[in-house]
Chain A
Amino acid sequence: MITLKAYLFISLVLFVTGLVVMLSRKNIIAILLGIELILNAAALNFVAYSKYTAANLDGHIFALFIIVIAAAEAAVGLAIVIRFFQVKESVHIDEASDLREELTR
């Protein structure tokens, strides 16, 4: 019997992995991958809670929404990365700091 905790644990592992990837990697594409992991962790949580606690299909439907949003997000994100690369000729995340506040004044 697989308990709810098992699902939540896997979800936690996924979430933390994604978070660590987001924080530690400097490659924008890797960061996007980290975001995908976090989204999947959330989707897994929805499905798991729907299976064990709620007696309806809401969680499943949210999971489907998350999958669709993740796909859209990946498409938009990668498009941004491509444009970014055309401008900066690099996918280093710290290059994306043009909007910082110059502390000159």
Chain B
Amino acid sequence: MNYTIATIAPIFLLPFFAFVINCVFIKKIPKIVPWISIAGIVGAFFYASAIFMDFFSVYNTDYYIHKVFNWIDISHGENIFKIDLGVYIDNMTAVMLLMVTGVASLIHIFSSWYMKGDVRWERFFLYLSLFTSAMLGLVLSDNLLSVFMFWEVMGFCSYSLIGFYFEKEEAGNASLKAFMTTRVGDVFFLLGILAIWSVVGSVDFPSIYAAIADGAFTGKTVFGMSLATFSAFCIFCGTIGKSAQFPLQVWLPDAMMGPTPCSALIHAATMVAAGVYLSLRAYPLIFVGELNLFIAYIGGITAFGAATIAIIQKDLKAVLAYSTISQLGYMVLGIGVGSYNAAFMHLITHAIFKACLFLAAGSVIHSYHAKYMTEMGGLRKKLPYTWIAMWCCTLAIAGVPFFSGFVSKDRILGDALYMMVYSGIGAYSIPAILGFIGAFLTPFYMFRMMFLTFHGKNRNKEKYDHCHKEHLKWNQNVPLLILSVFTLGVFFCGSMTGQGIIKVAHQKLEWFKVLVEAPVGDGLNKFKSYTKQGFSNVDTRENTAMESSLYDSHYHTGFAGEGFDHKNEQAHHDLHHAHVEGAVASVVIVIFSILLAFAMYIFGWMNPNFFYNKLGFWVKAIKNKYFFDWFYVDIVIKKGLLRLNRFLSWFDSGIYDRYAIDGWATINRYIFKASHWFDRVVVDSIAVDGTAVGTQIFSLVTKSIQSGYIQKYIIALVGAIVVISMFLGF
């Protein structure tokens, strides 16, 4: 495949043009707006598939394409100011493009059913198209600057989608909350970009990787810490905001106020994925900056905390929202413990099954006209297709073997276990243990959600009778069924369990593990010799094909910390062990968790309310989402910022106005009295009146040329300039 602007740009441009065209048509022909949006994203999907198939057929870890065009260049001699934009496509980008366009297409199609007839439903598609195009632009971007621009466009789109029903006050507040909370991370992200610029001199990824490979970051410090650590921390703060990690997770549950398909888009394919994607792109920086432990802690805390909150939620979508935060915590934990590949795999698998779960939840809510699970139950007879799709995804997110969630999450947990053992049950233990507890809670709350929604007895007869039986509709349940097919682990990992228990015939089935390689250690070598000038239009297809030994599934990517040399036999052996033990442990955990869910909600051996009443303080903490909302709103904003404002207002009126302004005014009054006398006697009578008489006489001469016609003045002006320049110049 020959890469030109015509084969790459449509991925971003088709949805964007759909947005632009829709802007024109939304008032005139609102009916075609959804179709244009769907056509745009499906077209982008075909282009993305072509790129993915090309990368898959080349099958080389080192294969990447970097096309650059010049955006701003006002360099002159020694003064260099030059900004390039471009696309950078490696294996990770290709997979990501395929996932985003595919999931987004299905979400668009589903939206045409879900939103039909809703208020402003054409406008919804406008935002969807812009949102998707921004995400695709972000994925294609080769530099942090354009990543940041698309990042902000997505922030704006999520703001408008969350606040889509702006008649409701909560929706307006939720959109504002999402926007402001992510802004905290964005400020740090921008700082990080500037910090990187100060070292590398440009912000495109290959340059950054080359600078890291050449050791440009070593020895540089800022604020008493290493510059690599500082910039990695700042970039990661962007991820914390966008991917709703531990201190800034508060916006994501409130984002449920938007329509359900936009929740699917925000929580699966685009918004939150962008944060993790950024951290993966900046992974070499994190590695060099030795920020892994911090990130592992953030991820572990998020994965555990959100999972506990999800257990007691009554709202169907809220369970999914907290499970999203929890799963994002796993991805971040994966980045922290150095399992780059598995974290990215979890990003992809999670995007697919979470999109499906949200769409299925939308299908339930829209058909049943209720959002609380306390009103549901026994819906499997009414909504059979949604039921099947949702079960597939539940099994995937729960980590049941042979489903995609098991493959990815288990590898993250295995790596976490390895890091825990390697660090001697030291610093890495807590994130790993939190991760495993989260893995215990995940199947429980997901099965609880399924049982309360689809199984058991119905709890609201009126709504149940009113709900029609579901038929197979191309834009309602077919997208769900398509997505649920891809929850099978076989698409991501040929050996299904991720441990090589079942040998597969064709080794290319292990594509995901082999192709996506962390750009650290050996992975950075390909960037080493490049200079900035050599970058434009790089296509590395000419490189030799991979050795067949690398087709093996146990070709492992880099691990965090110094001395994690995967070529070391002992380390490799330990890693293998940790993975097998991790897999066994997580399967056991999942089985126990599922049994617990069955015991509580199907067989009724244990009463959930019993635990709910017994664990008083714990339940209170969970119910209040660990007091984060209370802390931010009541303490930080009301007690802190508003009190600061009140103090400043008092200072302004009490001190500044009263003494500085009023005092100055009193002094001035006396000055004025003195100057008034001087003015009247000396200036007015002698100077002014005297001048006036003189001027009156002079004006008789000059006023004859004040004709009032502007063009005559201009002629006089030009003539004067010509005459003067003749005198001066010649």
Measured CB to CB, the residues of A under 8 A from B are 19, 22-23, 31, 50-51, 55-57, 60, 93-94, 96-101, 103
Contact = CB atoms under 8 A, between A and B. Distances in A.
Given A22-B714, A23-B715, A103-B704, A57 B709 contact: no
A103 B701 CA distance: 11
Interface in B599-650: none
Nearest to A59: B76
A97 B711 contact: no
B80 to A, nearest CB: 10
A57 B76 contact: yes
Contacts of B77: 55-56
Contacts of A50: 76
B706 A101 contact: yes
B711 to A, nearest CB: 6
A55 B79 CA distance: 9
Interface residues of B, number: 16
A22 B711 contact: yes
22 contacts: A19-B718, A22-B714, A23-B711, A23-B718, A31-B710, A50-B76, A51-B76, A55-B76, A55-B77, A56-B76, A57-B74, A57-B76, A57-B79, A93-B710, A93-B711, A96-B708, A97-B709, A97-B710, A98-B708, A99-B708, A100-B707, A101-B706
Given A19-B718, A55-B76, A55-B77, A96 B710 contact: yes
A93 to B, nearest CB: 6
A57 B79 CA distance: 8
Nearest to B711: A23
Contacts of B704: 101, 103
Main SS at interface, chain B: mixed
B714 A23 contact: yes
Given A22-B714, A23-B714, A100 B706 contact: yes
Contacts, number: 43
A60 B74 contact: yes
Contact of B703 (A55, A94, A97, A101): A101
Nearest to B81: A57
Contacts of A94: 709
Given A23-B714, A56-B79, A97 B74 contact: no
Nearest to B703: A101
A60 B75 CA distance: 10
Contacts of B81: 57
B19 to A, nearest CB: 27
Contacts of A101: 703-704, 706, 708
A7 to B, nearest CB: 16
Given A55-B76, A57-B74, A57-B79, A97 B714 contact: no
Interface string B712-730: 0011001000000000000
Contacts of A31: 710
A48 to B, nearest CB: 13
A55 B77 CA distance: 7
A50 B79 CA distance: 13
A2 B79 CA distance: 23
Given A23-B714, A23-B715, A103-B703, A97 B708 contact: yes
Interface string B419-444: 00000000000000000000000000
A97 B713 CA distance: 11
Contacts of B718: 19, 23
